[in-house]
Structure 1
Amino acid sequence: MAVPLGEVSSTLPSGKVEPIRIVTKELALAEQFEAWRDFMSAAIDIELPTDTDDGFDAEQEVWNLGSMALARARMPGGERVWHHLDRHPLDHWCLVLVIPDRARSAEPELFLRSLARPFEGYGNGAETVVSLYVPRDLFRSGAATLDRLDNMIPSGPLSALLADYVLSLSRRLPELPPEAFPAVIEATREMIGACLLPSADRLEAANDVLAASLVDRARRIVNQHLGAFAFGPVQLGRMLGVSRSRLYRLFEPLGGVTAYIRRQRLLAAHRALLDPLETSAIVAIAERVGFPDASAFSRAFRAEFGYSPSQARAALARRTAAPSMRRPGMGPGGSSLGDILNRIGA
């Protein structure tokens, strides 16, 4: 069944990120629930205890942050049952914030669930659900403690603080540029660790903050040297004052330092090709962003975005929308919740 989705985390002209999206009200009533069930099938199986002719008016947005994913869903009223899939379980935790409809007086609730463990849940009212998918590898040292919290986060100031953070993140994420995602991931890791693993070594939290700061500084350095075709990991590490191994660890959530530099060059070229005031030849734009070889630039551009530089410029000339860009590592058709969940833990 065709599901109305946006592209996976494609970059908008404003520099913000477009999530993948499903809006079931755009479908016929008889198709709405099955479309929602198909969309969620990578993580859970959902059922309605009784048939309804009223449709299933729901919507969800999912952001791929690189090493985490965040989803915000609006659910309709009525009973529903869901359970984690028994086959090929994903090895992720899911931090779930359930916000009841304003008509209900209940307070928001925070849960931690492992997608790799059996679980069955129920719902019977209109609500907003924020789900933060966290790969196990981000908390290997505290995995046993988090597993013991499965669906039972103790109430208290720390859990309330974490709930506030998750809610704030879901509201602010649409306004954040993709360059901010690495820092967001580090801040989120630190917040989860502080609230759910309060006995964790404080030095680790300090190192996380330092890592986020280094990535921000590295990003600025890379953007300042896009036109230097010889600029690479060696030069970046020297300017940051960090070892090669430290540099590679910093950029691991972004797919590696070399891949990151290459993508920033291609993104700069893409912006130029879609700028109506930019009249330079494609080969000149390629050289300006560090690609002295036009053929290599064209191959890299097509591999990154799924279309050629000339097609991007032609779209501008026709005053039509350019083809949607793909996120790093996303192949054609990689526009589903399952694609994101499989990649954030890779």
Structure 2
Amino acid sequence: MQVERRRFPRETKPSDEHPAPPPALKPLRFSTRDLEPAQQFSAWQSYVAPLVDIRRPDSIPTDTGFVADHAVWNLGGMLVVQQSTPAHSYMRSEAKVRSSPIDHWHISVLRGGRTWTEVGGHVSEGEPGNVELRSLGHPFRGRSTDAQTLSLYLPRELLHPASAVEIKNNIALVGTRAKLLIDYLDGVETKLALLAEADLSHVVQTVRDLILACVASSSAHVSSPEQSSALPLKERVHRFVQHNLMSPDLTTDRLCRELGVSRTRLYQAFETDGGVHHYIQRRRLLSAHAALSDTSNRQQIGDIAFAAGFSSAAHFSRAFSKEFGYSPREARTSGMPSNIGYSVEPVAEAETGQSFDTWLRTLGHNRRA
């Protein structure tokens, strides 16, 4: 005789786990894929114009297509960029360095292809397995084959070591620690769409520590006074300005007095930045831009101007419009219009009212808590 077995649902214990926090990042995307082939290269030229000037190889007809893809993830203290491009040459000229307030470190990892980049007569060769480190505050030029690249943009002060040693520019990091960095970046890249707000600062800090570990384990730093005579002064000025940005008496005379340098030496160190006064004003404008772009900031535009060290709202408005190409009110209401500075509007852009140029300019001035 068969006995019927009753099946009862298993009791479920209440879970103590909290629901996963929502993803914090939404990428800013640009692609030339949906444009006519004859328009693709000019669209890409316009898109990267704030950073570099580019050219196609002379052997390629001008009407040939240029299929390029670009995705930017803003972690607050670092930008992560996934990029795919056909062969081209690129240049960040002295004139562009002077006109552009972008002086970040650029870290690149090639997934496929080759690059050759020259700075001051030294050529760094990029290939899969290497980590290239380059300053955007100095001119460079180079060329690339068809390539897929993962890039990081970090504020200059983020990679300043605890010691007075300066990092060399335009170098390739190799070895075990470089491979560990690449492995970590591989993991971060696969999880970008899943990162929560609380994860971002930890990712930025870990990347910073791994990069500095790579530098410390190689000859990728400068220790001789002859090689680093100008850089330590600029770094000291940069730190002092950042710490005293809102001070109304942040002047050239105060910098000379506090840092113990002559006015002549200070001017020489910042000649490529348009002068010390221009450098300070640019930093203040970037800080004000970050405040205006912050949707949680309820301050009036005039209050933001005064907080950034400007004594006149009218002067602030003129300087802001000259620097960014749009007014403080436009930055407050809609961010930077996506088509400003571009001859062709991005094909697929995140609904943020922002642009790659804006994110580069304000990187480090609007970090997530």
User: Is residue 160 from structure 1 mapped to residue 179 from structure 2 by the alignment?
Assistant: yes
Residue pair 1:145, 1:197 contacting (<8 A) in 2 also? no
Give the 3 Å change call, closer, same or farther, for CA 44–170 of structure 1 in structure 2. farther
SS of corresponding position for 1:180: helix
Distance 1:128 1:186 in 2: 25
2:111 is matched with which residue: 95, 99, 102? Answer: 99
TM-score, normalised on structure 1? 0.52
Indicate how the Cα distance of structure 1 residues 108 and 33 shifts in structure 2: closer, same or farther if over 3 A, else same. farther
Q: Quick one: distance in 2 between partners of 1:143 and 1:35?
A: 43
> Which has the larger helix fraction?
1
Q: Which of the pair has more CA radius of gyration? A: 2
Aligned to 2:36: 28
Distance 2:158 2:128 in 1: 29
- Describe the SS at the equivalent of 1:111: strand
The 5 Å alignment of 1:169-248 reads 169-198=188-217
Q: How has the CA–CA distance of structure 1 residues 85 and 168 changed in structure 2, closer, same or farther, with 3 Å as cutoff?
A: farther
Residue deviations 1:30-84 (CA, integer Å, cap 9, x gap): 11111111111222211112243331111010011111111000123xx310012
Deviations 1:5-42 (A, max 9, x none): xxxxxxxx963422111111111111111111111122
What fraction of aligned residue pairs are identical, expressed as a percent?
29
Q: What is the aligned length? A: 207
- Residue number among 302, 326, 338 corresponding to 2:357 in the alignment: 338
- Quick check: 2:109–2:131 contact (8 Å CA) kept in 1? yes
Q: Deviations over 1:241-280 (max 9, x none)?
A: xxxxxxxxxxx9xx89xx89x68xxxxxxxxxxxxxxxxx
Q: Does structure 1 residue 63 correspond to structure 2 residue 73? A: yes
Unpaired stretches in structure 1, ≥5 consecutive residues: 1-12, 200-251, 264-302, 307-323, 327-332
Task: Please report how far the alpha carbon of residue 166 of structure 1 lies from its aligned counterpart in structure 2 after TM superposition.
Answer: 2.5
Q: Which residue of 1 aligns with 2:242?
A: none
SS at match of 1:26: coil
Q: 1:62 corresponds to which letter in structure 2?
A: V
Deviation at 1:100, TM superposition (A): 1.1
What TM-score results when the alignment is normalised by the length of structure 2?
Answer: 0.49
Q: Distance in 1 between matches of 2:39 and 2:193?
A: 28
2:56 pairs, out of 35, 38, 48, with: 48
Instruction: Give the counterpart of 1:110 among 131, 148, 159.
Output: 131
Matched with 2:234 is: none
Note the alpha carbon deviations across 1:276-334, whole angstroms, 9 max, x for none: xxxxxxxxxxxxxxxxxxxxxxxxxxx9996xxxxxxxxxxxxxxxxx864xxxxxx4x
Question: Which residue number corresponds to residue 138 of structure 1?
Answer: 158
SS of residue paired to 1:31:
helix
